[in-house]
């Protein structure tokens, strides 16, 4: 997966917007104004994704390319090193599933009214 495929996939999810809130290099994807994915657009060497805490530990144990979230809450975020995807340790399909998991986790945490607004988009 390259940066364009990553961006296209994130933006294909309902209610997703992209932002550069930290600096002009860190691309953040949000659903209904809540962050679920981010990456450095200049290097695209890793992606930070929200993750269920138990699943986060399992993924870190299973894949060398999945580590605790860099500059994020280590319990709720993972960093996926793109080298692991390029080498085939983690497939693009599996990475898309992790992106979707992050998105869905954030959606489930939204207030019911905001979830309803999302459904109506």
Per the CB < 8 A criterion, the answer to whether 40 and 81 are in contact is no
Determine phi and psi for 120, rounding to 5 degrees.
-85, -5
pLDDT per residue as tens digits for the range 20-44: 999 999 999 999 999 999 999 999 9
- Domain definitions of the chain by residue range: 3-111
In angstroms, the Cα distances linking 16 to 50, 101, 103, 110 are: 15, 14, 9, 14
- What CATH number does the domain located at 3-111 have? 3.90.1150.30
Give 39-90 pLDDT, tens digit per residue: 999 999 999 999 999 999 999 999 999 999 988 999 999 999 999 999 999 9
Q: What's this model's pTM, rounded to 2 decimal places?
A: 0.96
């Amino acid at each position: 997966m390259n940066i364009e495929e990553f961006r296209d996939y994130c933006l294909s999810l309902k209610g997703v917007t992209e932002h550069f809130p930290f600096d002009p290099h860190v691309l953040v994807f949000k659903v209904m104004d809540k962050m679920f994915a981010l990456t450095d657009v200049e290097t695209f060497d890793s992606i930070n994704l929200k993750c269920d805490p138990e699943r986060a530990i399992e993924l870190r144990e299973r894949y060398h390319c999945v580590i605790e979230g860099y500059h994020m809450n280590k319990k709720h975020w993972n960093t996926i090193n793109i080298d692991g995807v390029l080498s085939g340790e983690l497939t693009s399909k599996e990475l898309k599933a992790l992106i979707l998991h992050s998105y869905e986790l954030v959606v489930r945490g939204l207030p019911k009214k905001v979830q309803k607004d999302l459904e109506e988009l």
